[in-house]
């Protein structure tokens, strides 16, 4: 990805730019160059205060992290626009309340689910999994295209866990995921790590993951042998 001319023009006039600060490839390549277009621009590191997970830059896919990000942005906005301090504080509190409410709802969604594994092609959901005690099982390995051995490993894992859903991101090719889904007679469902409507998308993500796990747990109960 490279910024367009219009985006660079906007940056040249901006007072503040927010970076994820978690190892996003685009940022690593461009953040210093972008700041060079506008020497007065303030760069906010959204990841300040977040316990990072190695090899997963998707810090925003955690509602707990999102609260920290909101605080980081609010604090910096107040620094550069102090006259609107109360406005920023009020809006940040309202949004954090919505995040907290959704977080409670999602915890309830996973209540009573014993088997908490889910298969993804690209491992975008490490932070989400950490928040709710889930196990993310990734087809892609260390950012590389899945090999035949990786696919075989996934099929074995899916069978072991009674998983019948493979989750993909719309930003990635789904061929390897389709192979795994076909082998386990499963389905493919999309989870978008770059949603336009954040809160709505996080709720949908949780609902889809919980439904997949409940199905796997139900299959486990039906296939378990009775105690003699």
Sign of CA dihedral 61, 20, 197, 83: positive
What's the whole-number mean pLDDT along residues 25-34? 80
pLDDT for residue 208 is more than 80: yes
Give pLDDT, residue 186. Answer: 93
Among 107, 129, 157, where does a domain finish?
Answer: 107
* Residue 147 maps to a domain: yes
| pLDDT at residue 38, as a whole number | 81
Instruction: Write down the number of H helices and E strands in the chain.
Output: 8, 6
Residue 228 located in a structural domain = no
**Averaged pLDDT for residues 136-165:** 88
Asked if the structure places residue 40 within a domain, the reply is yes
Tokens 């409507």: give the residue: 197
Q: Which domain holds residue 39?
A: 5-107
Give the dihedral sign, CA 54/142/58/44.
positive
Give the residue from 76, 50, 48, 75 showing the smallest Cα distance to 63.
Answer: 50
Please report the pLDDT score of residue 226 as a whole number: 44
What residues contact 95, with CB distance under 8 A and at least 6 apart?
A: 70
Cβ atoms of 66 and 99 closer than 8 Å? yes
More confident residue, 201 or 39: 201
Taking the CA of residue 104 as centre, how many other CA atoms within 13 Å lie in the half-sphere pointing to its CB? Answer: 5
pLDDT higher than threshold 60 for residue 227: no
Give the tens place of pLDDT for each residue, 123-137.
Answer: 999 999 999 999 999
Same domain, 80 and 140: no
Instruction: Give the position of tokens 């590191």.
Output: 45
Same domain, 147 and 55: no
Structure confidence by residue, pLDDT tens digits, 49-85? 999 999 899 999 999 999 999 999 999 999 999 999 9
The mean of the pLDDT values for the chain is 90
* 96 & 123 share domain: no
Q: How confident is the model at residue 146 (pLDDT cuts 50, 70, 90)?
A: confident
Taking the mean position of all CA atoms in its chain, how far away is CA 198? 10
Higher per-residue confidence, 84 vs 146: 84
Q: Residues in the chain, how many?
A: 228
Residue the block writes with tokens 């994820």: 20
């Amino acid at each position: 990805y490279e910024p367009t001319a219009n985006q660079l023009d906007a940056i040249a006039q901006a007072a503040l730019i927010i970076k994820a600060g978690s190892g996003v490839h685009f940022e690593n390549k461009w953040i210093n160059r972008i700041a060079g277009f506008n020497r007065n621009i303030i760069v906010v590191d959204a990841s300040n205060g977040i316990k990072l997970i190695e090899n997963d830059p998707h810090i925003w896919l955690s509602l707990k992290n999102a609260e920290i990000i909101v605080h980081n942005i609010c604090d910096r906005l107040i620094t550069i626009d102090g006259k609107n301090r109360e406005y920023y504080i009020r809006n940040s509190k309202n949004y954090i309340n919505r995040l907290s409410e959704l977080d409670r709802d999602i915890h309830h969604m996973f209540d009573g689910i014993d088997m908490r594994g889910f298969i993804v092609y690209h491992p975008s959901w490490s932070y989400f999994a950490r928040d709710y005690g889930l196990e993310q099982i990734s087809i892609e390995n260390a950012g590389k295209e899945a090999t035949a051995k990786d696919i075989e490993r996934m099929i074995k894992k899916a069978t072991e866990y009674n998983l019948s859903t493979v989750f993909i991101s719309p930003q990635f090719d789904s061929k390897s995921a389709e192979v795994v889904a076909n082998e386990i007679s499963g389905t493919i469902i999309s989870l978008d790590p770059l949603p336009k409507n954040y809160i709505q998308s996080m709720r949908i993500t949780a609902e889809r993951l919980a439904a997949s796990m409940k199905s796997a747990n139900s299959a486990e109960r039906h296939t378990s042998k009775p105690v003699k």
